[in-house]
Amino acid sequence: MSYIPHTEAERQQMLAEIGVTTIEDLFEAVPASHRFPKINIPPALSEMEILAEMQAYAEANEHAGDFALFRGAGAYYHFTPSVVNHMLLRGEFYTAYTPYQPEVSQGTLQVIYEYQSMICALTGLDAANASHYDGATALAEAVTMSMEVTRHKRKKVILSPTVNPQYRAVVRTYHQGGDYKFVGDKGQATMQDLVDMLDENTAMLAISYPNFFGQIDDLKQLAEKVHNMGALLVMVVNPIALGMFKSPGELGADIVVGEGQPLGIPLSYGGPYLGFFATRMEYVRKIAGRVVGETRDKEGRRAFVMTLRPREQDIRRDKATSNICTNQGLMALAACIYMALMGKTGMRKVAELCYHKAHYLADQIDKINGYKVNRDRPFFNEFVVKCPVSVEKINQALIEQGIIGGYSLEKEYPQLKDHALFCVTEMNSKVEMDALVKILGEVK
Amino acid sequence: MVQALEPLIYEISSAGRVGVNLPVCDVPESPLPTDLLRDSLALPEVSEMQAVRHFVRLSQLNHAIDTGFYPLGSCTMKYNPKINEDVARLAGFAHLHPHTDPAGAQGALAMMHQLQEWLADVSGFAGVSLVPAAGAQGELAGILMIRNYHLDRGDTQRTKILVPNSAHGTNPATVTMAGLDVIELPSDAEGNVDLNALKEACSGDKAQFIAGMMITVPSTLGLFEAHILDVVKTVHDAGGLMYMDGANMNALMGIVKPGQLGFDVMHYNLHKTFSTPHGGGGPGCGAVGVAERLMDFRPGPVVEITEKADGDNAPLYGLVTPSKTIGQLKAFFGNFGMHIRAYAYIRAYGGDGLYDVSRHAVLNANYVRAKLMDTYTIPYPRYCGHEFVLEGHWEDAPTIHALDISKRLMDYGIHPPTNYFPLIVPEALLIEPTETETKQTLDDFIEIMKKIAKEAKTTPELLHDAPHVTPVSRVDEVRAAKELVLCCAPLLKTVE
């Protein structure tokens, strides 16, 4: 079977209407020397054979459905209410494209508008876009926007070393063709060190909240210091943490970006995810990507439409500062439904469950001889543990018992040899945590 | 209050309602850091059923492939097979953490490796990276690879990228993003790149500045570039590399392999050619294929066999960062969920089936084109690829524009074609039927297009006022841009 519906009779009728005898006749413009190469892919499979093959691939993986997972570091295993998947599977949503034609796309458009509103609520800022590919690319776009806001007169970008290492790598990839200077993240700079780097050439300072080690840094004076230098404060946030911690808007952030995956999107081996992006209304005209706004139709009814389009590539072409032309529409839908179902109390409750469970595990690990939890700062649902043996060795012992252990920090932070970053969410039961602690105590 | 099709979720919120039951905490609670906590969170409070009805009703306001014909040019709105959604949701894929040790992710890596190989074969390239998240990111990857290839050889003055004026707007934007400069090339009367202008741009002292060229094949006019071998040779002779925008790959599978034409790099749109759903604007996947000389520059990580198969043991797959990589384009390894769907799609067709896909995509487009030729002005008198452009205006209907035709199509339950693109055709309507549409659907569309042409001349107001039967009538885009209401701020206050 294939998804091509043509019968032989229809093909012949169509060819006759066109005025050719075979389909191959339609390719006269393709150089004859290169026409009709063989594709070396095995013959078609039936649907049931495809399903069996994919099941075999899927079952060969160690996944959170079968294993107790204590790893986060940028991707998080949270509970997703059934409603989310049911809505995502509606063909009216997932088989539509970018809502270019608002009259037949009000569903997608209103969803994005509601999503933007919820992101504003979560971040405490007053404008959000329809999303980026992921948290890392959203940060790269924040750099572009900071340059625009400071009118390309400032070239320095300060990155905290506790921003997710992958995000910092992506930012550098995106901007390798520019003349910007990225500083701050190559050593072990403290918050004070970062503040000391601020000068009149600084466009922005990016910090993470919570930081990559799960900690909540002291940010009380930070925004004021950044703003005094005329720079922008960019915060990379975990949306679940914002269920309980002060909003970035309250802390003075100018741009807030983050990974929306924890909001009802599966781990799916790293993608597709959701980069959310919010800023202050005064900077909204510099925002990249899609933005949906409220308007009226001819009868005066409320309607929604993509707006701020004239700054896009389709008009300005080589003057555009970003080439992004889609968003992560379906992932934004997932996040929108997730936040609607959780609501204000559910979001708080999920955050607190993560917090309490993570602190329980940290307390238990601290009691094991040779292990030490870093408690320099308050933490949310991830914490750093100094281990008595290598993290690899511990994780090997854990995986044999059906547990995926903490994330080894040594590769990206050489000073943190034998340090693991543990993650706990509402999905981790006390039974799992106690089992983990027992094995940790036994590893030699 | 303003009339609305469906209330906002905030408008059906009531304090104290919850839409989900969460478990009680099974560990002793720890003290909360009270000075770090927020006082309010302005999210709506609705029941589960309220949420379901709300989002189902919203879905019903959309036109989608599953509800009707969607001939949106350059977007390849083909059928999205349901099995692909099922396999992407298998627990072993959906709940696989990206920081899993590769030894525990062999199923995922084996699948990705096979997909890389198949995509490379379809287009005749040496290798593939599945990382780019969308076509635009694939473009950025490709142009950065070209840039870094020259820099790596110490050839630092190559900063110009040639881009035809028929190109998609992302092409020039990508060049700018990569820190390079665009040289725009005109098109000739047949819709090809103006070969003389290209040769002039690559001649004499100018050659040393040419980094490469970006070109879409078939072009955004739906036409196969007649002098493609000359174009490739001209740019290569000048020392530049060739980038192919693979947005229109649905016309080429089994027809020609871009790598064999001499292209150095190309992006695929898995969400077009390989049927992964468009999702209301994403997620997609813009994997890139490269010729041998760009292999080391690919965005990483890519999947490689790190230990060969040995007797009964399967090979071991690993994630590898190419030695001169342009860097990491996004966190992790690409939109894995899209890789699964594209893999399943390729499996459903096999190599010969993919050839059939492109043959029928081109057959369908040429059929519609042939049947509309007497009614509409169709520039460029030659066979098209998988899409074609027509002019949405007539001398004897001077007030009618392409947009009016588009809006009127909605009244007949058809999604409009792409409007006003490519820019070089006046009142352009770019029509791409795709191979999964039946002859009956195409015949209906042809009849409707003819009917609209008649209406344009007899009752033009029917078109001006269209659409008439959609959930909303024409919307005021100027008001949206002027007032910039981007979130329901007053409502947020009510739920705080």
Which one of A1, A4, A166, A222 would you mutate to disrupt binding with B, by most B Cβ within 10 Å of its Cβ?
A: A4
Helices (H), A325-390: 329-366
- How big is the A-B interface in CB pairs under 8 Å? 704
Q: In angstroms, rounded to a whole number, what is the distance separating the alpha carbons of residues A173 and B329? A: 6
Give the distance from residue A316's alpha carbon to the nearest chain B alpha carbon, in angstroms: 8
Per-residue pLDDT tens digits for A11-55? 999 999 999 999 999 999 999 999 999 999 999 999 999 999 999
Contact flag A114-B137 (C-beta cutoff 8 Å):
no
Per-domain boundaries in chain B: 84-348
Contact flag B330-A133 (C-beta cutoff 8 Å):
yes
Q: State the CB neighbour count (10 A cutoff) for residue B236.
A: 17
Output the CA angle B257-B261-B262, nearest 5 degrees: 120
Per-residue pLDDT tens digits for A133-155? 999 999 999 999 999 999 999 99
Low-confidence spans in chain B with pLDDT less than 70: none
Q: Nearest residue of A to residue B116 by CA position?
A: A41
Q: Burial code of A106-129, b = ≥16 C-beta within 10 A, e = fewer?
A: bbbbbbbbbbbbbbbbbbbbbbbb
Give the distance from residue B391's alpha carbon to the nearest chain A alpha carbon, in angstroms: 19
**In chain B, which residues have their Cβ closer than 8 Å to the Cβ of A135?**
331
Class at the top of the CATH hierarchy for domain B84-348: alpha beta
Tokens of A215: 């900690």
Tokens of A284: 């909204």
CATH code matching the domain that covers A68-79+344-442, chosen among 3.90.1150.10, 1.10.10.10, 3.40.50.300, 3.40.50.2000 = 3.90.1150.10
Instruction: Flag whether pLDDT at A57 surpasses 50.
Output: yes
Q: In angstroms, rounded to a whole number, what is the distance separating the alpha carbons of residues B76 and B382? A: 21
Q: Burial code of B81-92, b = ≥16 C-beta within 10 A, e = fewer?
A: bebbbebbbbbb
Q: CA-CA-CA-CA torsion for B381, B382, B388, B391, nearest 10 degrees?
A: 0
Q: In angstroms, rounded to a whole number, what is the distance separating the alpha carbons of residues A281 and A299? A: 29
Give the distance from residue B278's alpha carbon to the nearest chain A alpha carbon, in angstroms: 5
Facing residue for B486 by CB, picked from A116, A250, A315: A116
Whether the CB of A400 is below 8 Å from some CB of chain B: the reply is: no
Which one of B99, B160, B161, B366 would you mutate to disrupt binding with A, by most A Cβ within 10 Å of its Cβ?
A: B99
Mean pLDDT, chain A, whole residue set: 95
At B217 the pLDDT is 95
* Listed residue (A65, A287, A39) closest to B121, CA to CA: A39
Helix, strand, coil percentages (3-state) for chain B, rounded to 5, are 40, 15, 45
Contact flag B121-A350 (C-beta cutoff 8 Å):
no
For B477, the enclosing helix (H) or strand (E) is helix B477-483
Facing residue for B336 by CB, picked from A268, A297, A430: A268
B183 SS3 class? strand
**In chain A, which residues have their Cβ closer than 8 Å to the Cβ of B329?**
137, 170, 173-174
Contact flag B30-A326 (C-beta cutoff 8 Å):
no
At A400 the pLDDT is 97
Whether the CB of A96 is below 8 Å from some CB of chain B: the reply is: yes
pTM score > 0.90 for this model? yes
At A326 the pLDDT is 75
Facing residue for B256 by CB, picked from A15, A35, A166: A35
Per-residue pLDDT tens digits for A264-321? 999 999 999 999 999 999 999 999 889 999 999 999 999 999 998 654 445 556 667 7
At A15 the pLDDT is 98
Give the distance from residue A229's alpha carbon to the nearest chain B alpha carbon, in angstroms: 26
Instruction: Flag whether pLDDT at A182 surpasses 90.
Output: yes
Give the distance from residue B310's alpha carbon to the nearest chain A alpha carbon, in angstroms: 18
Facing residue for A301 by CB, picked from B4, B383, B406: B4
Q: In angstroms, rounded to a whole number, what is the distance separating the alpha carbons of residues B130 and B285? A: 8
Q: How far is residue B324 from each of residues A172, B151, B266, B300, B327, measured CA to CA in Å?
A: 15, 11, 18, 10, 8
Q: State the CB neighbour count (10 A cutoff) for residue B309.
A: 10
Query: HEC states along A148-217?
Result: HHCCCCCCEEEECCCCCHHHHHHHHHHCCCCCCEEECCCCCCCHHHHHHHCCCCEEEEEEEECCCCCECC
Q: Nearest residue of B to residue A25 by CA position?
A: B383
Domain A82-338 has CATH 3.40.640.10: yes
Contacts of residue B118, defined as CB under 8 A and 6 or more positions apart, other chains included, come to A41, B343, B346
Average pLDDT of span A163-179:
96
Q: What is the C-alpha end-to-end distance of chain B, expressed in Å?
A: 21
Contact flag B107-A346 (C-beta cutoff 8 Å):
no
**In chain B, which residues have their Cβ closer than 8 Å to the Cβ of A41?**
118, 121-122, 346, 350-351, 354
Q: How far is residue B1 from each of residues A442, B4, B11, B81, B272, measured CA to CA in Å?
A: 66, 9, 11, 42, 42
- Chain A 146-185, residues with CB within 8 Å of chain B CB atoms: 164, 166-167, 169-170, 172-174, 176-178
**Residue B418 main-chain phi, psi, to 5 deg:** -70, 130
Per-domain boundaries in chain A: 68-79+344-442, 82-338
Average pLDDT of span A164-178:
97
Contact flag A292-B486 (C-beta cutoff 8 Å):
yes
- Chain A 183-212, residues with CB within 8 Å of chain B CB atoms: none
